[in-house]
Protein backbone atom coordinates (compact mmCIF):
# COMPACT_ATOMS: atom_id res chain seq x y z
CA UNK A 1 0.00 0.00 0.00
CA UNK A 2 1.38 3.46 -0.91
CA UNK A 3 2.43 5.74 1.87
CA UNK A 4 0.46 8.97 2.40
CA UNK A 5 1.92 12.04 0.65
CA UNK A 6 2.15 14.06 3.86
CA UNK A 7 4.46 11.55 5.54
CA UNK A 8 7.03 13.31 7.71
CA UNK A 9 10.51 12.36 8.79
CA UNK A 10 11.83 11.86 12.30
CA UNK A 11 15.11 13.47 13.29
CA UNK A 12 17.56 12.20 15.86
CA UNK A 13 21.17 12.91 16.74
CA UNK A 14 23.94 11.01 18.51
CA UNK A 15 27.41 12.01 19.66
CA UNK A 16 30.02 9.26 19.52
CA UNK A 17 32.90 10.29 21.77
CA UNK A 18 36.09 8.32 21.26
CA UNK A 19 38.28 8.55 24.36
CA UNK A 20 41.85 7.38 23.86
CA UNK A 21 42.32 7.92 20.13
CA UNK A 22 46.00 7.00 20.49
CA UNK A 23 44.97 3.48 21.48
CA UNK A 24 43.18 2.84 18.18
CA UNK A 25 45.16 4.92 15.67
CA UNK A 26 47.25 1.85 14.82
CA UNK A 27 44.23 -0.20 13.71
CA UNK A 28 44.62 -1.90 10.34
CA UNK A 29 42.38 -1.01 7.41
CA UNK A 30 38.93 -2.50 7.95
CA UNK A 31 39.11 -2.52 11.75
CA UNK A 32 36.65 -0.23 13.49
CA UNK A 33 35.16 0.92 16.77
CA UNK A 34 31.42 1.42 17.09
CA UNK A 35 29.21 3.71 19.10
CA UNK A 36 26.47 2.60 21.43
CA UNK A 37 23.22 1.86 19.61
CA UNK A 38 20.72 4.72 19.42
CA UNK A 39 17.13 4.85 18.20
CA UNK A 40 15.67 7.15 15.53
CA UNK A 41 12.40 6.71 13.65
CA UNK A 42 11.68 3.28 15.12
CA UNK A 43 15.05 1.84 14.04
CA UNK A 44 18.31 1.26 15.85
CA UNK A 45 21.56 2.72 14.52
CA UNK A 46 25.23 2.93 15.35
CA UNK A 47 28.24 4.88 14.09
CA UNK A 48 31.38 3.01 12.98
CA UNK A 49 34.78 4.70 12.92
CA UNK A 50 37.71 3.17 11.01
CA UNK A 51 40.96 4.82 12.22
CA UNK A 52 43.01 2.84 9.67
CA UNK A 53 40.58 3.40 6.80
CA UNK A 54 37.66 1.35 5.50
CA UNK A 55 39.91 -0.76 3.28
CA UNK A 56 43.48 -0.85 1.99
CA UNK A 57 42.97 1.77 -0.77
CA UNK A 58 41.83 4.20 1.93
CA UNK A 59 44.56 3.47 4.47
CA UNK A 60 45.74 7.11 4.46
CA UNK A 61 42.28 8.22 5.56
CA UNK A 62 39.96 7.73 8.50
CA UNK A 63 36.51 6.44 7.54
CA UNK A 64 33.12 6.70 9.23
CA UNK A 65 29.73 5.15 8.56
CA UNK A 66 26.20 5.17 9.89
CA UNK A 67 24.83 1.60 10.13
CA UNK A 68 21.31 0.36 10.67
CA UNK A 69 21.36 -2.36 13.34
CA UNK A 70 17.67 -3.30 13.56
CA UNK A 71 17.60 -6.88 12.33
CA UNK A 72 16.08 -7.38 8.85
CA UNK A 73 15.06 -3.71 8.72
CA UNK A 74 15.00 -1.51 5.63
CA UNK A 75 14.74 2.26 5.99
CA UNK A 76 15.12 5.45 3.99
CA UNK A 77 17.10 8.19 5.68
CA UNK A 78 19.24 11.28 5.20
CA UNK A 79 22.28 11.65 7.43
CA UNK A 80 24.97 14.15 8.34
CA UNK A 81 28.32 13.07 9.80
CA UNK A 82 29.95 15.94 11.69
CA UNK A 83 33.16 16.46 13.66
CA UNK A 84 33.08 18.48 16.86
CA UNK A 85 35.68 21.21 17.42
CA UNK A 86 36.65 20.59 21.02
CA UNK A 87 37.90 24.15 21.51
CA UNK A 88 34.74 25.96 20.40
CA UNK A 89 31.99 23.36 20.72
CA UNK A 90 31.04 23.96 17.06
CA UNK A 91 30.68 21.07 14.64
CA UNK A 92 31.54 20.83 10.94
CA UNK A 93 29.80 18.62 8.43
CA UNK A 94 32.26 16.31 6.67
CA UNK A 95 29.87 13.87 4.97
CA UNK A 96 26.24 14.65 4.26
CA UNK A 97 23.59 12.77 2.33
CA UNK A 98 20.97 15.43 1.61
CA UNK A 99 18.82 13.07 -0.44
CA UNK A 100 17.36 9.98 1.25
CA UNK A 101 19.26 6.74 0.77
CA UNK A 102 18.25 3.21 1.63
CA UNK A 103 19.70 1.37 4.61
CA UNK A 104 19.07 -2.35 4.24
CA UNK A 105 20.22 -4.62 7.07
CA UNK A 106 19.80 -7.76 4.95
CA UNK A 107 21.67 -6.45 1.86
CA UNK A 108 24.87 -8.28 0.94
CA UNK A 109 27.89 -6.79 2.65
CA UNK A 110 29.60 -6.03 -0.65
CA UNK A 111 26.87 -3.56 -1.53
CA UNK A 112 27.35 -1.71 1.78
CA UNK A 113 23.64 -0.91 1.87
CA UNK A 114 23.42 -1.69 5.56
CA UNK A 115 25.74 1.25 6.21
CA UNK A 116 26.38 4.56 4.53
CA UNK A 117 29.15 7.06 5.05
CA UNK A 118 32.58 8.13 3.89
CA UNK A 119 35.52 5.92 3.04
CA UNK A 120 37.69 9.05 2.73
CA UNK A 121 36.24 11.06 5.60
CA UNK A 122 39.52 12.93 6.19
CA UNK A 123 43.21 12.34 5.78
CA UNK A 124 44.53 10.87 9.02
CA UNK A 125 47.35 13.42 9.13
CA UNK A 126 44.84 16.24 8.69
CA UNK A 127 42.61 14.91 11.45
CA UNK A 128 45.46 14.51 13.90
CA UNK A 129 46.58 18.10 13.32
CA UNK A 130 43.04 19.51 13.55
CA UNK A 131 41.07 21.00 16.47
CA UNK A 132 38.72 18.02 16.25
CA UNK A 133 41.26 15.85 18.06
CA UNK A 134 42.30 17.28 21.41
CA UNK A 135 43.19 15.63 24.69
CA UNK A 136 43.26 12.27 22.90
CA UNK A 137 39.50 12.61 22.33
CA UNK A 138 37.45 12.74 19.13
CA UNK A 139 33.70 13.33 18.89
CA UNK A 140 31.68 12.31 15.82
CA UNK A 141 28.18 13.75 15.72
CA UNK A 142 25.60 12.04 13.53
CA UNK A 143 22.26 13.65 12.63
CA UNK A 144 19.71 11.27 11.07
CA UNK A 145 16.39 12.05 9.37
CA UNK A 146 14.39 8.83 9.03
CA UNK A 147 11.22 8.39 6.95
CA UNK A 148 8.24 6.43 8.11
CA UNK A 149 8.60 2.75 7.26
CA UNK A 150 8.27 2.04 3.55
CA UNK A 151 8.45 5.63 2.29
CA UNK A 152 10.28 6.05 -1.01
CA UNK A 153 12.67 8.92 -1.75
CA UNK A 154 10.26 10.77 -4.06
CA UNK A 155 7.99 11.34 -1.05
CA UNK A 156 10.88 12.73 0.95
CA UNK A 157 12.32 15.21 -1.54
CA UNK A 158 12.98 18.49 0.24
CA UNK A 159 12.42 21.91 -1.35
CA UNK A 160 15.51 23.79 -2.55
CA UNK A 161 17.67 25.04 0.28
CA UNK A 162 16.98 28.60 1.37
CA UNK A 163 19.78 28.70 3.94
CA UNK A 164 21.81 31.25 1.97
CA UNK A 165 18.78 33.53 1.71
CA UNK A 166 18.16 33.41 5.45
CA UNK A 167 21.83 34.01 6.25
CA UNK A 168 21.91 36.86 3.71
CA UNK A 169 18.86 38.38 5.40
CA UNK A 170 20.61 38.00 8.76
CA UNK A 171 23.61 39.92 7.42
CA UNK A 172 21.43 42.65 5.88
CA UNK A 173 19.33 43.10 9.02
CA UNK A 174 22.45 43.28 11.21
CA UNK A 175 20.50 41.52 13.96
CA UNK A 176 22.54 40.49 17.01
CA UNK A 177 25.93 41.06 15.42
CA UNK A 178 28.79 40.59 17.86
CA UNK A 179 31.88 41.67 15.93
CA UNK A 180 32.75 44.69 13.77
CA UNK A 181 35.54 45.25 11.28
CA UNK A 182 36.90 48.72 10.61
CA UNK A 183 38.20 48.41 7.05
CA UNK A 184 39.92 51.67 6.11
CA UNK A 185 37.23 53.64 7.89
CA UNK A 186 34.25 51.62 6.67
CA UNK A 187 32.59 49.41 9.31
CA UNK A 188 31.26 45.92 8.60
CA UNK A 189 29.27 44.14 11.30
CA UNK A 190 28.90 40.37 11.40
CA UNK A 191 28.35 37.29 13.57
CA UNK A 192 31.37 35.51 14.99
CA UNK A 193 29.77 32.06 14.81
CA UNK A 194 28.97 32.40 11.09
CA UNK A 195 32.44 33.67 10.20
CA UNK A 196 34.18 31.00 12.28
CA UNK A 197 32.07 28.19 10.84
CA UNK A 198 32.94 29.17 7.29
CA UNK A 199 36.55 30.31 7.59
CA UNK A 200 39.36 28.56 9.50
CA UNK A 201 41.20 31.87 9.71
CA UNK A 202 38.25 33.63 11.34
CA UNK A 203 37.91 30.59 13.60
CA UNK A 204 41.48 31.09 14.81
CA UNK A 205 41.15 34.86 15.10
CA UNK A 206 37.83 34.88 16.93
CA UNK A 207 37.95 31.71 19.03
CA UNK A 208 41.38 30.08 18.83
CA UNK A 209 44.93 30.80 19.85
CA UNK A 210 45.06 34.01 17.77
CA UNK A 211 42.19 35.52 19.75
CA UNK A 212 42.96 38.76 21.56
CA UNK A 213 41.11 40.73 24.18
CA UNK A 214 38.76 43.38 22.85
CA UNK A 215 38.09 41.55 19.60
CA UNK A 216 34.58 43.05 19.24
CA UNK A 217 36.07 45.67 16.84
CA UNK A 218 38.92 44.68 14.51
CA UNK A 219 40.88 47.07 12.31
CA UNK A 220 41.90 45.89 8.82
CA UNK A 221 44.00 48.26 6.72
CA UNK A 222 45.33 46.06 3.92
CA UNK A 223 42.05 45.14 2.14
CA UNK A 224 39.78 47.44 0.17
CA UNK A 225 36.32 47.85 1.77
CA UNK A 226 34.54 46.69 -1.41
CA UNK A 227 36.64 43.51 -1.42
CA UNK A 228 36.04 42.80 2.26
CA UNK A 229 32.31 43.41 1.78
CA UNK A 230 32.21 40.87 -1.06
CA UNK A 231 34.11 38.37 1.11
CA UNK A 232 31.65 38.74 3.98
CA UNK A 233 28.70 38.46 1.57
CA UNK A 234 30.15 35.24 0.16
CA UNK A 235 30.66 33.81 3.64
CA UNK A 236 26.96 34.28 4.40
CA UNK A 237 25.43 33.39 1.02
CA UNK A 238 28.01 31.36 -0.96
CA UNK A 239 27.43 33.83 -3.80
CA UNK A 240 30.22 35.92 -5.32
CA UNK A 241 28.88 39.44 -5.88
CA UNK A 242 31.02 41.97 -7.78
CA UNK A 243 30.23 45.66 -8.30
CA UNK A 244 28.08 46.01 -11.40
CA UNK A 245 29.85 49.07 -12.78
CA UNK A 246 33.24 47.40 -13.29
CA UNK A 247 34.46 46.55 -16.77
CA UNK A 248 37.64 45.40 -18.50
CA UNK A 249 40.85 45.73 -16.51
CA UNK A 250 39.04 47.12 -13.44
CA UNK A 251 36.86 44.00 -13.31
CA UNK A 252 39.88 41.69 -13.59
CA UNK A 253 41.75 43.66 -10.93
CA UNK A 254 38.79 43.30 -8.55
CA UNK A 255 38.73 39.53 -9.13
CA UNK A 256 42.45 39.36 -8.34
CA UNK A 257 41.84 41.16 -5.05
CA UNK A 258 38.97 38.81 -4.26
CA UNK A 259 41.19 35.80 -4.94
CA UNK A 260 43.81 37.18 -2.55
CA UNK A 261 41.14 37.71 0.14
CA UNK A 262 39.74 34.22 -0.40
CA UNK A 263 43.21 32.71 -0.01
CA UNK A 264 43.93 34.80 3.06
CA UNK A 265 40.78 33.63 4.85
CA UNK A 266 40.79 30.01 3.67
CA UNK A 267 37.67 30.34 1.49
CA UNK A 268 38.56 27.62 -1.01
CA UNK A 269 35.31 27.66 -3.00
CA UNK A 270 35.50 31.43 -3.48
CA UNK A 271 39.15 31.12 -4.49
CA UNK A 272 38.36 28.54 -7.18
CA UNK A 273 35.51 30.70 -8.51
CA UNK A 274 37.92 33.64 -8.86
CA UNK A 275 40.47 31.38 -10.56
CA UNK A 276 37.81 30.30 -13.06
CA UNK A 277 36.92 33.91 -13.90
CA UNK A 278 40.58 34.83 -14.43
CA UNK A 279 41.16 31.74 -16.59
CA UNK A 280 38.34 32.84 -18.90
CA UNK A 281 39.48 36.45 -19.12
CA UNK A 282 43.20 36.11 -19.84
CA UNK A 283 44.78 38.38 -22.42
CA UNK A 284 48.29 39.40 -23.42
CA UNK A 285 48.29 42.49 -21.21
CA UNK A 286 47.36 40.67 -18.00
CA UNK A 287 48.77 37.16 -18.33
CA UNK A 288 52.11 37.94 -16.64
CA UNK A 289 50.40 39.65 -13.69
CA UNK A 290 47.95 36.80 -13.38
CA UNK A 291 50.73 34.22 -13.52
CA UNK A 292 52.56 35.97 -10.66
CA UNK A 293 49.32 36.01 -8.66
CA UNK A 294 48.70 32.30 -9.33
CA UNK A 295 52.23 31.42 -8.27
CA UNK A 296 52.00 33.47 -5.08
CA UNK A 297 48.68 31.96 -3.99
CA UNK A 298 49.27 28.35 -5.14
CA UNK A 299 46.58 28.40 -7.84
CA UNK A 300 47.78 25.42 -9.86
CA UNK A 301 45.00 25.40 -12.46
CA UNK A 302 45.28 29.13 -13.10
CA UNK A 303 49.06 28.90 -13.36
CA UNK A 304 48.79 26.08 -15.93
CA UNK A 305 46.35 28.12 -18.05
CA UNK A 306 48.66 31.15 -17.93
CA UNK A 307 51.68 29.11 -19.00
CA UNK A 308 49.70 27.50 -21.81
CA UNK A 309 48.49 30.92 -22.97
CA UNK A 310 52.03 32.28 -22.97
CA UNK A 311 53.33 29.22 -24.83
CA UNK A 312 50.73 29.63 -27.55
CA UNK A 313 51.60 33.29 -27.83
CA UNK A 314 55.29 32.53 -28.25
CA UNK A 315 54.55 29.89 -30.87
CA UNK A 316 52.42 32.33 -32.77
Q: What is the pTM of this model?
A: 0.52
Question: Which of 95, 124, 149 is the last residue before a domain boundary?
Answer: 149
Tell me the pLDDT of the chain averaged across its residues: 86
Same-domain check for residues 303 and 191: yes
Better pLDDT: 11 or 246: 11
Per-residue model confidence as pLDDT tens digits over 204-252: 999 886 665 555 789 999 999 999 999 999 999 999 888 777 777 888 8
The 10 Å Cβ neighbour count of residue 13 is 12
Structural domain includes residue 154: no
CA distance 146 to 103: 10
Q: pLDDT at position 86, please? A: 76
pLDDT of 109 over the 60 cut: no
Q: How far apart are the first and last CA of the chain?
A: 70
CA distance 94 to 126: 13
Same-domain check for residues 171 and 307: yes
In 3D, which of 49, 36, 187 has the Cα closest to residue 127? Answer: 49
CA distances from 58 to 30, 51, 52, 123, 244 (A): 9, 10, 8, 9, 46
Total domains in the chain come to 2
CA distances from 13 to 24, 63, 121 (A): 24, 19, 19
By the 10 Å C-beta count (0-12 exposed, 13-18 middle, 19+ buried), 27 is classed as middle
Structural domain includes residue 209: yes
pLDDT of 85 over the 50 cut: yes
Structural domain includes residue 40: yes
Question: Which of 149, 178, 211 is the last residue before a domain boundary?
Answer: 149
> What CATH number is given to the structural domain containing 186?
3.30.710.10
Per-residue model confidence as pLDDT tens digits over 22-33: 999 999 999 999
Same-domain check for residues 71 and 94: yes
Q: pLDDT at position 261, please? A: 97
Q: pLDDT at position 268, please? A: 93
Residue 104: its H or E element: strand 91-104
Same-domain check for residues 173 and 101: no
DSSP single-letter state for residue 200: H
Residue 233: its H or E element: helix 225-237
Query: Using an 8 Å Cβ cutoff, are 101 and 80 in contact?
Result: no
Range of the domain at 252: 163-315
Amino acid sequence: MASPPDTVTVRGAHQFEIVGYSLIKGFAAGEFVRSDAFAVGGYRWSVRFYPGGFSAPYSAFVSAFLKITSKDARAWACFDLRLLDRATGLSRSVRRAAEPVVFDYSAPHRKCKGKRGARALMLRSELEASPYLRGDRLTIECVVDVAAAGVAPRQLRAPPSDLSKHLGDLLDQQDRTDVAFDVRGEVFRAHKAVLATRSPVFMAELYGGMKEEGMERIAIDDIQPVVFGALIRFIYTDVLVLPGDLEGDDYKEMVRHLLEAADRYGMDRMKVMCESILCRSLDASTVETTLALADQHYCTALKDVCLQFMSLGLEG
